[in-house]
Amino acid sequence: MAGSNGVSNGTGDQASKKVWTTLITNTKYLSGLLTLEYSLRKQGSKYPLVALYTDSFPPEGHEALKRRGIKSKEIPYLLPSIPKEYANDPRFYDCWSKLAPYSLTEYDRVVQLDSDMLVLRNMDELMEIELDPPEMGGNGDKVYAASHACACNPFKKPHYPSNWIPENCAFTSQHDTPDLAQTQGPGPTAGIACPNGGLQVVNPSKGTYDKIVETLKNGDLTASYDFADQSLLGERFYGRWIGLPYIYNALKTLRMKGVHDAIWRDDQVKNIHYILSPKPWDETMESVSNETHKWWLDVNNQRRAEELKSGIDDGF
């Protein structure tokens, strides 16, 4: 599907070995996925998005992807062998499955994105970042690349770890160098030394994936992982990943006054991440709780207007 604004699907051999992926387990996040895929094309990405679905994804979801020509691939629903309780954050039950891209060895490069993201500027350069070759099997110093998790806990959620305070946040260390923060991320051991799992740049590798699966079987370890997949990645590969600048996974909370507005610049952000609730698709232009939700709603309206011209009107 190509629109009048030049949006088109990535094609060619180069695209087939390097892909964006996003996890989808239900239709609640489907409009997020569709708008994410549209935003990648709108920003001229050369690479396709592949929807990674689990067996809980329903037929109407598959139909919606098919109508729009979005590739999809089934993955197993990953969970630790000893169940971990996430009553306060049920979304984390799904998050373990975001580790599946490490197993997709049919691709040379996978960039895993959360479905509640919106691409604002082309970021195809993530497909070229130098990482350890697959044969190193997770034993090198550049196992993956990601932006840091923000450890500020701005909403003071009581179930978050006690060390999640602004003083321990990797981004706080950049407040005095905001220009640098646009192009360079804090090192992997900065702050709480934990990536945000919303964007992961991966060279799929059986060796790396085996280490992940082995960790999921270790109940003593997984019991301590408050944030599922990202806790596992931070602990299992401590200090052996590349810290990307915030612009590639710009958590919407960073923009809030007194959080990391010292480094945030609207015109530099390449990919915004709509963490926490409400999601932008739960709101309208008239009642948005966050200014950045208008950005998503605007692009979503563009997508739906284009789809309507192609005869697609399924409510997603």
Residue 159 lies in a domain: yes
Residue 252 lies in a domain: yes
Residue 303 carries which side chain, given as an amino acid letter?
A: R
Residue 1 lies in a domain: no
Domain holding 236: CATH number? 3.90.550.10
Among 264, 250, 301, CA closest to 116 = 250
> From start to end of 142-194, where are the E strands?
144-147
End-to-end CA distance of the chain: 16
Domain count, the chain: 1
Residue 2 lies in a domain: no
CA distances, 88 to each of 118, 159, 216 (Å): 26, 7, 21
Residue 8 lies in a domain: no
Residue 255 lies in a domain: yes
Residue 7 lies in a domain: no
- Predicted TM-score of the model (pTM): 0.93
Instruction: Please report how many Cα atoms fall inside a 13 Å half-sphere around the Cα of residue 38, on the Cβ side.
Output: 25
Domain of residue 43, residue span: 13-308
Tell me how far apart the alpha carbons of residues 137 and 139 are, in angstroms, rounded to a whole number. Answer: 6
Tell me how far apart the alpha carbons of residues 127 and 116 are, in angstroms, rounded to a whole number. Answer: 20
Q: For the chain, state the CA radius of gyration.
A: 19
CA distances, 48 to each of 16, 22, 88, 201, 309 (Å): 8, 11, 34, 15, 22
**Would you give per-residue pLDDT tens digits along the chain (316 residues)?**
333 333 434 444 454 799 999 999 999 999 999 999 999 999 999 999 999 999 999 999 999 999 999 999 999 988 888 776 755 655 655 788 999 999 999 999 999 999 999 999 999 999 999 999 999 999 999 999 999 999 999 999 999 999 999 999 999 999 999 999 999 999 999 999 999 999 999 999 999 999 999 999 999 999 989 888 999 999 999 999 999 999 999 999 999 999 999 999 999 999 999 999 999 999 999 999 999 999 999 999 999 999 999 999 999 9
Mapping DSSP to helix (H, G, I), strand (E, B) and coil, where does residue 199 land?
strand
Residue 31 lies in a domain: yes
